[in-house]
């Protein structure tokens, strides 16, 4: 429920507060006063597209802020929490939700939900849970097959919802299996070619049996073998300098002699240096041993080893060229067997999937039949209930039918749903998409909402001139039905008919004032004489006409009487 809305610099509205609350609120005002801006402002709070043309001339930005009373737990609370916002506890399991939207003259838009900035999409998600808006565009939408099916499904309640969920699950399972099976059969040749290529690649990798990093190690070995003589000479000279085998003076002997000289001295400071020389001697001996091993390895290697290394490198090169690197080839070896097994299993998989798809089709057929059955039963009840409502809406001879017929299979079932109207006795029922006038469509839409509200209540309904194209007794009945709808939900109606406004428990007037240069509008709650005067203006165009005032009082008494009786 919307508790209050404040609008600033929106169209002709400079600054206005709309106190709303429970029940039925009627919003009236002179032509051009800004009634449409009320619906525009509410649309901004509901995430509708922002149009910079709605910003009041000369103002840098327009803003709309609203206070909703919502359950502390549930879908709305989850949306707010996901957006990072917070609800303000209001007691009795209720909470207040603060929502705002600003629109700059340059077209930039910002939204806030529960005190946190949020994208407009969050407002749209909240709107799905909080408000149903009906205007001329929504009446046109009722002409669409999708809207008519949705209306029936809403009326059908849990039985239809359960059947639709079961059908949707079966539909998704069948589509998934069908797509997988088609992919297998349509691409069987391609998959066979892939299996042949993969089998050949794995055979080559298995025959080559590469080791991780082997190509780099072999490249280093080949480089060494190709320069063996030069390397042998360098290593031999270095080894001889460190440890001569012919008794000549070498580095090891010189270091050992220096150490002995220092050990003979009695100065403790030289003892540390002697220990360092001892360590150096050990290191020289170790390095000399490494050089000896290196020379032995070169002596054992010969031209035959270099040829073997190059041959092995050539074999590894074939894998590198095929897969980009040796690591990629090894990775394919790790995963390729599983993929090959999958590809080789195509025939068996086709048989298994075909059987599973047939089973899924049988389940889908059963779910579709159940959905059609519950929709057909709900359609009969909806048609009868809406027909009764239309009789009360000054269409005493009208008959509404909801036809459920076989249609194209989709995620929503196999049913085509059509709302048919026979406005007069003997008239053939025709689709409201073709046979209903504007006034008839308004009353059909209202009757449907009144009936559906009994099984699928909506927190707030907003009607933008739902009374367009009607008047007289029909208008009075529209007012009665809006008041009846307000027994279960909050109802906000922008209207130009006194017969409708008379049934509102809360009457707001959009008041236009002019200072000669700037026209601005504000909103006032009307009571007593002010309300009578506004009702008289709606009836005759004259707020002080005695006849109109008398008629206005009669209408207000009618609305009060209904409230007392209700």
For 190-205, write each residue's pLDDT tens digit.
777 777 888 788 888 8
Residue 564 confidence class, pLDDT cut points 50, 70, 90: very low
Residue 402 confidence class, pLDDT cut points 50, 70, 90: very high
Sequence-separated (6 or more) residues with CB below 8 Å from residue 166:
367, 370, 371
Q: What is the model's pLDDT at position 298?
A: 62
Helix (H, G, I), strand (E, B) or coil at 179: helix
What Rg value do the Cα atoms of the chain yield, rounded?
A: 44
CB atoms within 10 A of CB 369: 12
- Res 516 pLDDT > 50: no
For 246-279, write each residue's pLDDT tens digit.
656 677 777 777 888 777 777 777 778 878 878 8
- Give the residue, 215 or 507, on which the prediction is more confident: 507
Q: What is the model's pLDDT at position 526?
A: 92
Q: Name the most confidently modeled range: 61-75, 130-144, 181-195, 218-232.
A: 61-75
Asked if 238 and 291 touch (Cβ cutoff 8 Å), the reply is yes
Q: What is the mean pLDDT of the chain?
A: 83
Q: What is the model's pLDDT at position 227?
A: 61
Q: What is the model's pLDDT at position 65?
A: 94
Residue 560 confidence class, pLDDT cut points 50, 70, 90: low
Q: What is the model's pLDDT at position 168?
A: 96
- Give the residue, 507 or 432, on which the prediction is more confident: 507
Q: Name the most confidently modeled range: 137-151, 398-412, 457-471.
A: 398-412
Worst-scoring range by mean pLDDT, 184-188, 202-206, 500-504, 523-527? Answer: 184-188
Residue 98 confidence class, pLDDT cut points 50, 70, 90: very high
Q: What is the model's pLDDT at position 289?
A: 78
- Res 518 pLDDT > 60: no
Helix (H, G, I), strand (E, B) or coil at 117: strand
- Res 565 pLDDT > 50: no
Using a pLDDT cut of 90, give the percent of the chain over it: 28
Across residues 203-229, what is the average pLDDT?
76
Quickly tell me which residue has 């879908």 as its tokens: 75
What span, in angstroms and rounded, lies between the C-alpha atoms of 242 and 427? 120
What span, in angstroms and rounded, lies between the C-alpha atoms of 123 and 42? 11
Worst-scoring range by mean pLDDT, 19-33, 150-164, 292-306, 353-367? Answer: 292-306
Asked if 5 and 20 touch (Cβ cutoff 8 Å), the reply is yes
Across residues 69-74, what is the average pLDDT?
91
Q: Select from 442, 496, 467, 507 the least CA-distant residue to 26.
A: 507
Q: Name the most confidently modeled range: 149-153, 230-234, 338-342.
A: 149-153
- Give the residue, 233 or 82, on which the prediction is more confident: 82
What span, in angstroms and rounded, lies between the C-alpha atoms of 239 and 251? 10
For 221-250, write each residue's pLDDT tens digit.
766 666 656 666 666 667 667 776 665 667
Q: What is the 3-state secondary structure (H, E, C) of 293-344?
A: HHHHHHHHCCHHHHHHHHHHHHHHHHHHHHHCCHHHHHHHHHHHHHHHHHHH
What span, in angstroms and rounded, lies between the C-alpha atoms of 403 and 98? 43
- Give the residue, 373 or 389, on which the prediction is more confident: 373
Sequence-separated (6 or more) residues with CB below 8 Å from residue 404:
152, 372, 375, 376, 379, 415, 416, 417
β-bridge pairing 413-422 and 2-10? unpaired
Buried b (16+ CB within 10 A) or exposed e, 512-534: beeeeeebbbbbbebeeeebbbb
Q: Name the most confidently modeled range: 240-244, 282-286, 395-399.
A: 395-399
What span, in angstroms and rounded, lies between the C-alpha atoms of 192 and 179? 19
Domains and CATH numbers, the chain: 1-135+465-525 (3.40.50.300), 197-344 (no CATH)
DSSP structure string for 183-252: HHHHTHHHHHHHHHHHHHHHHHHHHH---TTHHHHHHHHHHHHHTHHHHHHHHHHHHHHHS-SSS---HH
Asked if 57 and 14 touch (Cβ cutoff 8 Å), the reply is no
Asked if 172 and 165 touch (Cβ cutoff 8 Å), the reply is no
Asked if 492 and 501 touch (Cβ cutoff 8 Å), the reply is no
Residue 514 confidence class, pLDDT cut points 50, 70, 90: low
Per-residue tokens: 175: 């589509």
What span, in angstroms and rounded, lies between the C-alpha atoms of 240 and 402? 108
- Res 122 pLDDT > 80: yes
Residue 411 confidence class, pLDDT cut points 50, 70, 90: very high
- Res 566 pLDDT > 50: no
Worst-scoring range by mean pLDDT, 31-35, 145-149, 200-204, 269-273? Answer: 31-35
Sequence-separated (6 or more) residues with CB below 8 Å from residue 290:
none
- Give the residue, 326 or 297, on which the prediction is more confident: 326
Q: Select from 418, 461, 425, 421 the least CA-distant residue to 441.
A: 421
Global pTM? 0.63
């Amino acid at each position: 429920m919307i508790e209050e809305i404040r609008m600033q610099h929106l169209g002709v509205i400079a600054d206005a507060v709309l106190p709303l609350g429970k029940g039925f609120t009627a919003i009236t005002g002179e032509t051009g006063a800004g009634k449409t801006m009320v619906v525009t402002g509410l649309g901004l709070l509901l995430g509708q597209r922002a149009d910079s043309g709605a910003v009041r001339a000369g103002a840098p930005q327009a803003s709309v802020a609203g206070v909703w009373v919502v359950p502390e737990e549930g879908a709305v609370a989850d949306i707010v929490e996901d957006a990072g916002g917070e609800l303000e506890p209001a007691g009795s399991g209720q909470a207040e939700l603060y929502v705002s939207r600003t629109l700059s003259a340059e077209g930039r838009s910002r939204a806030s939900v529960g005190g946190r900035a949020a994208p407009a999409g969050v407002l749209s998600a909240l709107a799905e849970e909080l408000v149903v808006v009906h205007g001329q565009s929504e009446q046109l939408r009722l002409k669409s097959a999708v809207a008519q099916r949705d209306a029936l499904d809403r009326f059908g309640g849990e039985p239809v919802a359960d059947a639709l969920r079961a059908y949707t699950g079966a539909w998704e399972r069948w589509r998934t299996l069908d797509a997988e099976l088609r992919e297998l059969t349509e691409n069987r040749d391609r998959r066979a070619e892939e299996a042949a290529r993969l089998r050949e690649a794995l055979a080559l990798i298995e025959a080559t049996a590469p080791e991780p990093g082997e190509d780099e190690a072999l490249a280093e070995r080949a480089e060494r073998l190709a320069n063996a003589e030069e390397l042998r000479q360098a290593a031999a000279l270095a080894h001889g300098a460190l440890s001569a085998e012919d008794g000549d003076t070498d580095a090891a002997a010189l270091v050992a002699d220096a150490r002995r000289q220092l050990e003979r001295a009695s100065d403790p400071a030289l003892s540390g240096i002697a220990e360092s020389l001892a360590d150096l001697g050990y290191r020289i001996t170790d390095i000399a041993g490494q050089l000896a091993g290196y020379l032995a390895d070169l002596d054992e290697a010969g031209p035959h080893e270099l040829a073997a290394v190059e041959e092995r490198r050539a074999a590894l090169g074939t894998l590198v060229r095929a897969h980009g690197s040796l690591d990629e080839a090894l990775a394919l070896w790790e995963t390729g067997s599983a993929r090959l097994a999958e590809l080789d299993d195509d025939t068996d998989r086709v048989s298994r999937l075909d059987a599973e798809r047939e089973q899924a089709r049988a389940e889908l057929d059963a779910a579709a039949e159940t959905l059609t059955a519950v929709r057909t039963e709900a359609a009969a009840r909806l048609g009868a209930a809406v027909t009764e409502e239309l009789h009360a809406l000054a269409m005493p001879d009208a008959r509404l039918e909801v036809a459920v017929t076989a249609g194209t299979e989709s995620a929503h079932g196999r049913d085509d749903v059509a709302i048919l109207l026979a406005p007069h006795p003997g008239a053939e029922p025709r689709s409201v998409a073709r046979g209903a006038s504007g006034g008839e469509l308004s009353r059909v839409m209202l009757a449907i909402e009144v009936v559906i509200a009994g099984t699928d209540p909506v927190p707030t309904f907003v009607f933008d001139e739902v009374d367009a194209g009607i008047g007289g007794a029909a208008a009075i009945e529209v007012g009665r039905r809006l008041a009846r709808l307000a027994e279960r939900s909050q109802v906000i109606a922008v209207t130009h008919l006194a017969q409708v406004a008379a049934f509102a428990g809360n009457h707001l007037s959009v008041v236009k004032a002019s200072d000669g240069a700037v026209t601005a509008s504000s909103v006032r709650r009307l009571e007593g004489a002010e309300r009578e005067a506004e009702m008289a203006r709606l009836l005759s165009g004259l707020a002080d006409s005695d006849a109109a005032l008398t008629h206005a009082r009669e209408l207000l008494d009618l609305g009060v009487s209904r409230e007392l009786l209700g």
